[in-house]
Structure 1
Amino acid sequence: MTTPSSAQHVGTALVTGATSGLGAEFARQLASAGHNLILVARDRARLESVAESLRSAFGVHVEVLGADLTNPEQRATVEERLASTEHPVSYLVNNAGYGLAQEFEKNSVDDEERMLEILATVPMRLSHAALGGMLARGSGTILTVASIAGGAPLGMYAAAKTWPLSFSRWANAHYRHRGVTFSAVAPGFVRTEFHARLGIERSDMAPKWMWLNADFVVRSALRAAARGRGLSVPSIRYKLVWALMKVAQPLILVAVARSSRAESAKVAG
């Protein structure tokens, strides 16, 4: 276990959505490895609490940036920090995100647009802000949290999550020879606050065997990025699911259509 006295600082990592779940776990594991941190989220009070615990546990320097990443002015402060040459960011984790509980037609288009922005536009902008300095230094890592849902036609959230999957694989092939690794992690169901915020019980979403622990997902993602992989799917079970999804996409579309027709018939009846 890394202690404050034994930590060897290896660079600065910026993590978005760092107050809980995967974001907090990325911050913890990166701090344990010796990274100084910049934590970004909307709730500054919670960020300060997380930052203090990391400083105490690992002896690293932790900056706090309270920002709503869908607000252009607040996002600009994060982009400026990523582009700064003073204490430059060597590791970016695009983790911030959320889902919507209702079906596409029941949400306002503004709510859908904000979700698309946080899941695709924001990581694109932050990655662009960080990339120039990383290329100039000849090193850096940009890791984006995607989802295994991005591999199947399963609604707006899944559609938004296809962006980091496609972009990270392309960018990794394009920039890796210049020292910058892009990597997307595509987990399945993870034990975090994500579903509770949607008002959904875990037992209603999937059986117990499908749920992964946040520490395992983060450890797998960091290891894959360190090995230069453009995409990682944590756990054997989800690697199998991923492979099956690629083969079964037409069947998934049929199943979704049938389910929708059945639901419509119930409503009409």
Structure 2
Amino acid sequence: MHENAEDPDVERMPADDELFGALVYAEKHVQALRAQPLEVQQAATLKRVQLWEYLREQTEIHQARAVDDARAAGVQWIELAPAMAVSAPSAAYNKAKRMKAVKLTDETPRAHHVRRTPEAVLEAERRLMLEQAAERRAQEAAQRRHELLVPVATRLLEEREALLRDDDVDYWLEEIQAVLPHCRTPLQMVSLKRYLDAMLRALTKLEKHRARPVALTEEARLALTAALELQREARDRREVDSSANADATLPITP
């Protein structure tokens, strides 16, 4: 905008990555836009307001990190108070919590920033910790299931001749056989699990249709039981994680 307005000093405007200096420049040279259409002047001022708001939020995020680092280094709240321009340790603590509200969101559909109160920040932090703990548990459980997935699928393939099969079962067995030797990445593991689940559904459907067990030998029965148990554990884990996420939304009890 300043270039289009032929601001004679535009070359002195700081670079794009020096936002504070650029905003101070725009403030000092606002007169350079007076000859521009009103909508240009309005857009420029709104952009300045927006960027100052962004800059304010960034300073609070970085100051909050500095406070966290100071606390980790053993600095007491009474020492932080004057550095944070407050008069008491409790005021420094509350200000630090309010600053963290910038990067925390609530549970509304639009995920607004939490209210700038220590209580609201503590609640948001508690919910975030519960969500992170649930995510870690889910990842650990997924890793354990992945470690079992390959041997379970391999065992089923080895017993395929002792399984009652139809076209659907054979199709999914072939898909498993194709992906199994290359199962290394999480995406490949997800594909293997999807194929195994589909094959188990096809076997269950076939067993109901034929009204007889699809496992024709004891070894095949054990292999099928292991696969079904792994599938059941995964389903139970999803239910537990859903319950944990629901608990994270509950209010803190006194």
TM-score scaled by length of structure 2: 0.25
Structure number with bigger Rg: 2
TM-score scaled by length of structure 1: 0.24
